[in-house]
Structure 1
Amino acid sequence: MQPYILPYIGYFQLISSVDVFVLYDEVKYTKKGWINRNRFLLNGKAEVFTVPLVKGSDSATINEKRIVPDYDGQSVLRQLEAAYSRAPHFKEGFSLAKKCLAQDEKNLFRYLNESIRAVCDYLNIATKIVISSEVESHPAKHGQDRVISLCKDLKATTYINSMGGEELYSGPEFRKNGIDLVFLSPNIATYSQFQEPFAPRLSIIDVLMFLSRETVANEVKKHELISSKDDDNRDG
């Protein structure tokens, strides 16, 4: 899975559901994607915060991208403080946000890696996190072939992905390689924000501003694992 800045709670449900979670560092950076951006709640509406990057090649990978030299996280932290200072768990949530955002690290991948691990530590997610370039034997492979190869490198017998991967992966192809293909359907409960209507799929920071650490730690364990559609039809 590629890393994102303070991703939504479903990302951490996925991490929590596996024994080993692989972070891709040698994948192409997607301009205008969500790798270095995320959404937060401001005055009842979803707004976007951004970790600014040095301009570079359009073909650069995440581990080749650099954060601008003068960025220290304070601009984003000011946005979050203005948005959530009245939230019931602001003190704890903001402290974690500081740890994730106010890093000295300027390599984008390492910055994201550290922030994801910090959230996992905070929520007592004990999953082992590894970096793709440090474990894979065939990094030149792409898509499904790369995933299967990585599973073999890690001696995995089951591969769990988010529901968004249903159209990308073939259950029979995984089974042919001795791997079960499973998808995680997140169970994300609504919670009380400042006002209605509820704004879904915001950064994990939003959840942590409104719910206690213990509650969120329990929420990341709530999900359903679903066999691939190909598996459902394999005998029919």
Structure 2
Amino acid sequence: MKKIAILQSNYIPWKGYFDLIDSVDEFIVYDTVQYTRRDWRNRNLIKTNKGLSWLSIPVDTKGKYEAKINEINVTNFSWIFTHQNLIMENYRNSLFFTEVMSWLQRLYKEIKDNEIFMLSDINLTFIKEINKKLGIETEIRLSQQFEKKSGKNENLIEICKQCNANIYLSGPAAKSYVNETEFNENGIKVEWMNYSGYPEYDQLFGDFEHGVSIIDVFFNIGFDNAYKMIKKDRE
């Protein structure tokens, strides 16, 4: 049996994103679909002393109303300075600040030095490096590597077939459009990801928040302990 997940790339995603990747044999970055504004593609949340705050990458969407995610780009790298400053300001008192900040600065420098302008490539840079820190070895492929079919369900099913997958693991938000009957008719079982039951850890700034970037886990408990925070205890 082979299980895969297919999901758009996000900027420094939350822990559930990596739990999903770790739960499958192969993960497909689904960036050949339309870019959605005010979504997770180019931004994510961190905790601050004033509450939750967005780290948003400014992207060029002028006239690109139907552009695919992998066609969206940044125009400069000034956002890197802004993000680094906001992260440093709010995590400087975390237990693992020096180690994690050094790692983040290296990634941001790599993006700038290598002139990585495409949003998908920026996101993938972070996703791959975060996987390494979590010890996740799931194979990652891009949706552009696969033949495309018209229709949401048809395209997802086609990717599953080309991956020789028997099980498709999906996030619960897709229940509004995923037709399980069509998947079953093609010999593919649909399973739904459950994002409940994550353990809490010592977190800065008040009440615990699960839905923040994975970097919050790294800063507060370190790289070596982070993996256990993305796995759920539902026994």
Structure 1 length-normalised TM: 0.87
Q: Deviations over 1:150-197 (max 9, x none)?
A: 000110011011222233323322111111111111232222212431
The residue number in structure 2 matching 1:203 is 213
Q: Deviations over 1:101-137 (max 9, x none)?
A: 3413111111111111111111110000000011x22
User: Which one of the candidate residues 1, 9, 18 is aligned to 1:12?
Assistant: 18
Describe how 1:188-227 pairs up with structure 2 within 5 A.
188-222=198-232
The residue number in structure 2 matching 1:126 is 137
- Give distance in 2, aligned partners of 1:219 and 1:98: 23
The residue number in structure 2 matching 1:24 is 30
Letter in structure 1 aligned against 2:222: S
2:102 matches 1:91:
no
The residue number in structure 1 matching 2:151 is 142
Describe how 1:173-188 pairs up with structure 2 within 5 A.
173-186=182-195, 187-188=197-198
- Give distance in 2, aligned partners of 1:75 and 1:165: 33
Gaps of 5+ in 2: 1-6
Letter in structure 2 aligned against 1:88: L
- Going from structure 1 to structure 2, the CA distance change for 1:132 and 1:13 (only over 3 Å counts) comes to same
2:184 matches 1:158:
no
3-state SS in 2 of match to 1:210: helix
User: Which one of the candidate residues 174, 178, 185 is aligned to 1:169?
Assistant: 178
Shift of 1:147: 0.9
- Going from structure 1 to structure 2, the CA distance change for 1:195 and 1:75 (only over 3 Å counts) comes to closer
CA RMSD of aligned residues (A): 1.8
Letter in structure 1 aligned against 2:127: I
The residue number in structure 1 matching 2:87 is 80
3-state SS in 1 of match to 2:201: coil
Q: Deviations over 1:198-231 (max 9, x none)?
A: 123011111111112222112324377xxxxxxx
- Give distance in 1, aligned partners of 2:73 and 2:185: 40
The residue number in structure 2 matching 1:232 is none
The percentage of counterpart residues that share the same residue type is 26
The residue number in structure 2 matching 1:233 is none
- Give distance in 1, aligned partners of 2:151 and 2:123: 22
Shift of 1:72: 6.2
CA contact (8 A) 2:32 2:69 kept: yes
Stretch deviating more after TM superposition (207-216 or 144-153): 207-216
CA contact (8 A) 2:58 2:79 kept: no
User: Which one of the candidate residues 31, 34, 42 is aligned to 2:48?
Assistant: 42
Shift of 1:18: 0.4
